[in-house]
Structure 1
Amino acid sequence: MQVGKENRVLILILLCLAVALPGACTYKGGSGRVSEMQEFDSFFSTHSDSVVMAPRWMKAQALQRMERTKDSMVRYNYLAVALKTCLATSDFDSAQLLLRQVEAFAGRQPFSHRLADLQSECFNIKGNVYSRKGYIDSAAVCFKEAYEARLKGTKFEVIPDILINLADATNHLGRPDMGAFWYRKALLMCDSLKMPYRKKISIYYGLSQGYLALRDYEQCDYYSELAGKNYADMFPDEKHFYLNNRGNSYYYRGDYSTAIGYFRKVVELVKDYPDMSWALNLSYLNLSDCFLQLNKTDSVVKYLELCQPFFEELGSTTALYYIDTQKIELALQCKDFAEARRLLAMSKASPEIDADMIHIRNKYLQQFYEETGNYRQAYDYLKENKRLDDSIRNERIRMRTADLTLRYQQDSTLMAHKVLFQKQENEMLILRQTRLVTLAVAVIALLIAAFLFLYNRKKRDLLLAQNRRTVSTLRLENIRNRLSPHFIFNVLNQEVVNRKEEEKQELVSLVKLMRRNLELAEQLCVTLAEELDFVKTYIDLERRSLGATFHPVIEIAGDVLPEQVWLPSMMIQIPVENSVKHALRGKEGERNLWIAADRREGGVCIRITDNGGGYHPESRNRGTGTGMKVIMQTIQILNMKNQAAIDISVHNVTLPSGETGCEVTFLLPDKYDYRI
């Protein structure tokens, strides 16, 4: 038995060694890989500014370290750094060559988080190359793939930069609302990752550029000022984008002198950075257009000759289209219509051209056709520009809406959760330690809830008693105010004077009306049939005083059963009496009164309409409003204890005859509780 135990211990030790030895080898190799990757991360974080500030030195350093590195993943990360420097020097041929090498390597590797980071870097650089060449559709696709790949990687801190590129491309595609969406997502990422303020600078001037596209200069200036607070801390390329955007904003406002000042600042800036040739030539192109607007043709020719060779070599469709547009306007200013026609025949717009460029070209074409007498074509371009302006206004509305509704999205929240994932274990420990405190808080909360329940029940009982007193007061006030003294005395005087046997029916109706009024005043609710019977008695009494021109109509829809529909008493009679007293009695011509009941979704709708000229609160004949006040207060009390409320509306309507009338509408919900 003792030997068996020793054998089991020996076997256990051997198994542990068998597992540990391969693990130790893997760890050794793994340690080497981690060490080289850590060395790369340290190198890049230390010298990342040099990608823009000293791109040629950075490229040489990356390639030298690449040759000394054994880990293939790290080697191609160094190659990706060299690839980034090609963008800074506008060496797009070399960039495309290196891109193919990195993409070929990535396509052969199994998935890993580090590989996702490398693929994201490639897609982002590829998108920048497409963007610089004017292929914005392809650039947007690459930036989107870069973002999705980075979500699977480890370096989340670069996601805002990718989102900024995607937002900028989306803006150039004429979707400023989605551009704002991506900028807002980048801003939220910065907040979630607790990045410094300077990281948000690109987002602010990106949002400024989006609002510039919509000609919302107030918002454009707001975000530009936010970005400009840290101008001194910006990288050269960031300063270029900021100054260029400010210049463009003043160009579109027509303040060409101020715009020229900003574009010249860009020229001064890039003098110290000879690799920023793209920024320099873009500024030349913008300067030529500003001088074109000021009719300084010599300066226009000068700057176009400086920048055209660069963009022709680059093959930028947007820039070349812009150059041709300026040359067309230059020919128009010189009255050289033959040259303008030649340029128009040679220059064609491609789908990648910005809407702003098309807008400028259309303005010059309108001028060309006006001066050559082709007013039909000039009018067509005028209409097209108006359509573009309307589209910009519509996009402005959509962007403002998106600005409020697209601030916080699920992807950003998920990313913040990933960053904070390591803190969750500590939070769980804190939760266990505070369980006792939570239990104590729960007991206290239970006691407070019990106290609030008892307090609310007592308060509800007091409110119920108050409601009962209020209803009683309202009913007594209703008794005092329901019948018009003027009406009663008129009828009685007529009976005293005439005293004809055949007319005694009116006196009988009056007595019935008074008795029924008192009965209804004692009831909180009645059926629709009872209310309509009372209203018909009242109308019959009023017919004589109103004459043959008075036409009351009562229409009850077939799906409404008056004996089964309940409503507050006097709810129809009071608006009817108001219509007769204040609208129809003094009206000349036909006097119409309609009472209609039909079923709507969820209840019954009752409408009382007259053609008495409408409701005028300032009128001397509008009455005291006591009757309607009684009804409104009664319904308000009933609504307090019902989930679905009785809805009331009083408004003027235009009748089919062209007359103006007043309409009182009540919507009675089904299963309404009239008990207090």
Structure 2
Amino acid sequence: MNREIVIVLIISCLWGGLAGSCVRKKKVENVDCYAPLFAQWEDTLSDNPVFVCEKVDSILPLLKDSITYYQMLTLKAKAKMFISETDSVECLLRLATDFCKKTNVSSKRHWILSAEVANMKGNLYARTTVFDSARMAFRRAYDFCERVDEPYKLLNVALNLADAYSGEGRYDWSSYWYRRALALADSLRMPDEERFPIYYGLAQVNMNLRDFDRCDYYFDLAGKYFAQMKPYEKHIYLNNRGNSYYYRQDYPKALDYFRRLLVFVNQYPDMKFERNMTMVNLGEVFLLMNQTDSATYYLNQCYAYFKEMENTSALYYIDTQLIELALKRGDLPLARKRLQEAVKPDVIDPNMLHIRNRYLQHYFEESGNFRQAYYYLKENNRIDDSTRNERIRMRVASIALRYQRDSTLMKKEMFIQQKENEVLRLNQWLYGGSLVVVLAGMCGFFIFLHRKKKRAKVESNLRTAITSLRLANIRNRISPHFIFNVLNREVKANRVAESDTNLNGLIKLIRRNLELADSLSVTLRDELDFVQTYVELESKTLQPDFVYTVEVDPQINQTNVKIPAMLLQIPIENAIKHGLRTKVGPKRLSIHICQHTDEIEIFIRDNGGGYRIGSGASGTGTGMKVITRTLQLLNAYNRCPIVMHINNVEMASHETGCEVYFRLPVDYSFELKKQKETLLWNRYLEQSL
């Protein structure tokens, strides 16, 4: 069964033209301050035409009677076409046409404006299915674009011309202009993802010629880029794809595409025209599947819309289906009435006439007038012969072959030029690469010398800083006030045996501090012994609620295990000085040391209220600087570093306490020797600098 949904051709022509600068790249002359706004609004035209109308209306009062003013009017006409306000489109184009006629200017902007106006007039004619007038308008637009050398606009207008010829049923010329558009795309080196309007246009031509293999080939090419299509382009693709299955009488698959299309256009309230055209197609498919109730529903839904628009072409098409619907229901009088009341357009598209003749043939068969039925059968055969005869097929094939030959030749020339450019770039890379290697080698040598000198300087500065901090820490910790208090207590105690012990401990504490000033490491036993002496001297001021405990894993050999000097004594001193000394109530201080497979963990806890940054009792921080700098220096010479954390923890008595945590590798080295691994040195530099 033959069928031409002419509305599809209308939409194809309309949207192909409206694509303008939306489908493909756009070039807007930046000759005034409104050019960026014009380009931005044109980009959003298909997505939000109402917004574009509002923006243009807001700026028109600021413009004079100039080319810019009428460019804005043309842009508004495009937006009005998207929302199917054809009366407004016609009025706006009339103003722009009068301006172009009365202005004798030969500037580039004037020719571009004339081309835009002619292109939009072609779209308006296509909307009313006056395809011969549309073709003439598009041809004028093409001539204007040639004068200003606008290849992208030429490409758009070529597509519109192809659509207009397709609407006239001149498929050989339609194919010619689609191929010409492809040639322009080749010259512009346009990627495939921007060519899909050409592909589904060629698919439509082959669909009308009933060459379904070529039709599917081009539809598949276009379908690869469905996600990149704009809403109106998706509408064209889905609609025409559904028609291609209709022509094969695969009505269920055609119905599937039309239903999918209806769901899609319902998402866009401005696409009223497309939504109603989709319902027309659904009505006919349901009619041919003998589902008359569904056909009636959709045809009634869309009839009022086209009646209000006075779109005689669409009404002629709907009346044709209503006649067939009455015949399928066996209501011959209703069919006769609809035939008498049907609109009669001035110009009837051959494809639409083919559909009407088919249904009139059915009508006269039902009426018993077989002579008249035979007449319409012959008319349809004549139309088929004129639109799909061998001459047209041969011409379309010849055009395709010529394009393929020219395209192949162009690709070869481009390939040769590409290879020559690659050889030139390769030579440039060789010379440039050699120069870069030499410069990189020289730079690397100087960087090596600079880093070596910098490393030695940093190491020297760090050693000096550590020594200074240690001496300052000793002075801060063993303060004269502390020594005076201890001695004063001993004098008052009348030199009893216990005070002799305390004095000996104090002397031992001072001597041991001086001995550790220049040492990087001590044994765990010596460090615990020193801490024990210090705590015993300080415990006098912390009694009677002070409890000090030390737990050491029995498997640890305290004599063989070495740790950085002052690693334990500084956190212990800070715990007593800043946490426990001013605390009211029970005071707890503990050291817990345990060993795992290849590391030792040390926990120092107190219940002095936790670590408080910026508090008044935070002290100078010299002691913790000594530990931090020492660990930075030593970690730079070890693969596995010593890790330190200071956290606030909840004690068993539900008090907040402070925990200082260290994790020491068992094989940690305290010898400052250069390592082969540059990664260690880089990490050290990052931490130090």
TM bracket (short chain): 0.5 to 0.7
Shift of 1:139: 1.1
Distance 1:35 1:129, change over 3 A: closer
Local SS of the residue matching 1:52: coil
Aligned AA (1:305): N
Residue deviations 1:482-507, cap 9 Å, x none? xxxxxxxxxxxxxxxxxxxxxxxxxx
Give the corresponding residue for 2:183. 188
Alignment of 1:105 onto 2:99: yes
Give the corresponding residue for 1:398. 395
Give the corresponding residue for 1:288. 283
Shift of 1:217: 0.8
Contact 1:133 1:316 in 2 (8 A): yes
CA–CA distance in 2 between the matches of 1:253 and 1:221? Answer: 12
Shift of 1:353: 2.6
Contact 1:181 1:406 in 2 (8 A): no
Larger radius of gyration: 2
CA–CA distance in 1 between the matches of 2:193 and 2:72? Answer: 26
Shift of 1:41: 3.4
Distance 1:240 1:355, change over 3 A: same
Distance 1:185 1:279, change over 3 A: same
Residue deviations 1:499-545, cap 9 Å, x none? xxxxxxxxxxxxxxxxxxxxxxxxxxxxxxxxxxxxxxxxxxxxxxx
Residue deviations 1:206-263, cap 9 Å, x none? 1111111111111111111111110000000000000010011111111111111111
Contact 1:297 1:330 in 2 (8 A): yes
CA–CA distance in 1 between the matches of 2:283 and 2:54? Answer: 37
Residue deviations 1:246-297, cap 9 Å, x none? 0111111111111111111221112221111111111000000000001111
Alignment of 1:220 onto 2:215: yes
Q: TM-score, normalised by structure 1?
A: 0.53
Contact 1:66 1:76 in 2 (8 A): no
CA–CA distance in 2 between the matches of 1:153 and 1:159? Answer: 10
CA–CA distance in 1 between the matches of 2:36 and 2:67? Answer: 16
Shift of 1:403: 2.5
Aligned AA (1:173): E
Alignment of 1:176 onto 2:171: yes
Matches within 5 A, 1:20-419: 37-69=31-63, 72-109=66-103, 110-153=105-148, 155-347=150-342, 350=345, 352-391=347-386, 392-394=388-390, 395-405=392-402
Shift of 1:70: 5.1
Give the corresponding residue for 1:571. none
Distance 1:128 1:408, change over 3 A: farther
Shift of 1:171: 0.7
CA–CA distance in 2 between the matches of 1:145 and 1:170? Answer: 15
Shift of 1:116: 0.8
Shift of 1:325: 0.7
Contact 1:126 1:142 in 2 (8 A): yes
**Structure 1: gaps (5+ residues):** 1-33, 414-429, 431-676
Which of 280-289 and 93-102 deviates more?
Answer: 93-102
Shift of 1:402: 2.9
Contact 1:36 1:69 in 2 (8 A): no
Local SS of the residue matching 1:215: coil
Contact 1:116 1:150 in 2 (8 A): yes
Contact 2:29 2:35 in 1 (8 A): no
Which of 200-209 and 38-47 deviates more?
Answer: 38-47
CA–CA distance in 2 between the matches of 1:256 and 1:263? Answer: 10
CA–CA distance in 2 between the matches of 1:382 and 1:195? Answer: 46
Residue deviations 1:462-492, cap 9 Å, x none? xxxxxxxxxxxxxxxxxxxxxxxxxxxxxxx
Matches within 5 A, 1:499-518: none
CA–CA distance in 1 between the matches of 2:62 and 2:330? Answer: 65
In the alignment of these two chains, the number of paired residues is 380
CA–CA distance in 2 between the matches of 1:248 and 1:35? Answer: 40
Distance 1:61 1:373, change over 3 A: same
CA–CA distance in 1 between the matches of 2:375 and 2:70? Answer: 54
Local SS of the residue matching 2:269: coil
CA–CA distance in 2 between the matches of 1:273 and 1:61? Answer: 20
Matches within 5 A, 1:424-573: none
Q: TM-score, normalised by structure 2?
A: 0.53
Distance 1:199 1:158, change over 3 A: farther
CA–CA distance in 2 between the matches of 1:313 and 1:153? Answer: 41
CA–CA distance in 1 between the matches of 2:29 and 2:123? Answer: 31
CA–CA distance in 2 between the matches of 1:220 and 1:343? Answer: 36
Contact 1:288 1:299 in 2 (8 A): yes
Distance 1:407 1:132, change over 3 A: farther
Shift of 1:408: 8.7
Distance 1:194 1:41, change over 3 A: farther
Local SS of the residue matching 2:385: helix
Local SS of the residue matching 2:308: helix
Shift of 1:199: 2.7
The answer to which structure, 1 or 2, has the higher relative contact order (CA under 8 A, 6+ apart) is: 2
Two-structure CA RMSD over aligned residues (Å): 2.5
CA–CA distance in 1 between the matches of 2:217 and 2:346? Answer: 32
Shift of 1:153: 2.5
Contact 1:328 1:364 in 2 (8 A): yes
Which of 64-73 and 193-202 deviates more?
Answer: 64-73
Contact 1:134 1:316 in 2 (8 A): no
Contact 1:292 1:330 in 2 (8 A): yes
Residue deviations 1:189-210, cap 9 Å, x none? 1121223333311111111111
Aligned AA (1:43): L
Shift of 1:36: 6.6
Aligned AA (2:67): M
Percentage identity across paired residues of the two chains = 42
Give the corresponding residue for 1:499. none
Residue deviations 1:51-78, cap 9 Å, x none? 1101111122223333334581222212
Contact 2:315 2:343 in 1 (8 A): no
Aligned AA (1:346): E
Aligned AA (1:396): R
Residue deviations 1:405-451, cap 9 Å, x none? 46799xxx9xxxxxxxxxxxxxxxx9xxxxxxxxxxxxxxxxxxxxx
Shift of 1:79: 1.8
Shift of 1:42: 2.6
Contact 1:240 1:266 in 2 (8 A): yes
Shift of 1:362: 1.6
**Structure 2: gaps (5+ residues):** 1-27, 411-423, 425-689
Aligned AA (1:397): M
CA–CA distance in 2 between the matches of 1:119 and 1:393? Answer: 38
Distance 1:171 1:349, change over 3 A: farther
Distance 1:343 1:397, change over 3 A: farther
Residue deviations 1:631-669, cap 9 Å, x none? xxxxxxxxxxxxxxxxxxxxxxxxxxxxxxxxxxxxxxx
Shift of 1:94: 0.9
Aligned AA (2:397): R
Residue deviations 1:597-616, cap 9 Å, x none? xxxxxxxxxxxxxxxxxxxx
